[in-house]
Amino acid sequence: MRERELVLAAQRAEPAALREIYIAYHRRAYNLVLYSLGDPALAQDVLQVVFLKVFRGLASFRFQSSLATWIYRIAHNECREHHRRLKPPIVPLEAVLGSADEVDPKPSSHDLHARRERDLIIQRAVMELPVKMREAVVLKYVEGLSYDDMARVLGCAPGTVASRLNRALAELEERLRPFKRLL
């Protein structure tokens, strides 16, 4: 079903349309929420709230952006509220892996498990970034949004998005520098 028809059907509270919206977008919204909050169980709970707001807010959706952008914006706002209320802790990279000197030397490049472990180091480092930078990185590198769409989701100018991404990448490089020999 095309997006416009899907939204109009959902605005009429047709269960099949609501289900289709959830199936189409829950994974993408979950990515953003998980990276923002850092905890899978918490992300699941918040995701439910997000989609409750999506379904209840559909009546006021005016097609001024794509549905995905609108849903991301709700998810982003919900995470921001959550951060204000509860400040969920992020476990630092060193607490999980030890210092760079303590981590095992780089194993064989043919070891799939080891490659995944190295990639998880990067994921964990992203989780450590300040929330605004983390969200910018996720929206760009995981969800593949344009600067304009990212600006709409985050409620700021595209120039601000670019600035946040620059700072995020510089900070990511700095955090991962001690682990460079492993990556």
What is the amino acid identity at position 1? Answer: M
Instruction: Note whether 171 binds another protein by CB under 8 A.
Output: yes
Q: Which long-range contacts (CB under 8 A, 24 or more apart) does 138-141 make?
A: 138/31, 138/32, 138/35, 138/36, 139/32, 139/72, 140/165
Whether 79 and 33 have beta carbons less than 8 Å apart is answered as: yes
Find the binding residues for another protein in span 20-49 (CB under 8 A).
Answer: 22-23, 26-27, 30-31, 34, 40-41, 43-44, 47-48
Residue number, 66 or 123, with CB nearest to another protein: 123
Both tokens assigned to 77:
């706002």
Residue number, 86 or 120, with CB nearest to another protein: 120
User: Could you say which of 1, 8, 55, 68 contacts another protein (CB under 8 A)?
Assistant: 55
Both tokens assigned to 136:
């910018």
Find the binding residues for another protein in span 112-151 (CB under 8 A).
Answer: 119-120, 122-123, 125-126, 137-138, 140-142, 144, 147
Find the binding residues for another protein in span 66-105 (CB under 8 A).
Answer: none
Residue number, 88 or 158, with CB nearest to another protein: 158
The DSSP call for residue 129 is S
Both tokens assigned to 54:
């999506």
Instruction: Note whether 13 binds another protein by CB under 8 A.
Output: yes
